[in-house]
Amino acid sequence: MHVISVDADECDACPSEAHVKAYLYARMPSGNTVSYCAHHGTEYLEQLTRQASAIIDLRHQVHA
Q: Which of 14, 45, 55, 58 binds Zn ion (CB under 5 A)?
A: 14
Residue 35: count of CB within 10 angstroms of its CB: 23
**Complex with Zn ion: residue 1 or 60, whichever CB lies closer:** 60
Which residue of the chain is nearest Zn ion when measured via CB? 11
Query: Among 57, 28, 52, 27, which residue's Cα sits nearest to residue 40?
Result: 57
Site for Zn ion in 23-52 (CB under 5 A): 37, 40
The counts of H helices and E strands in the chain are: 1, 3
Of the pair 37, 52, the CB lying nearest Zn ion is at: 37
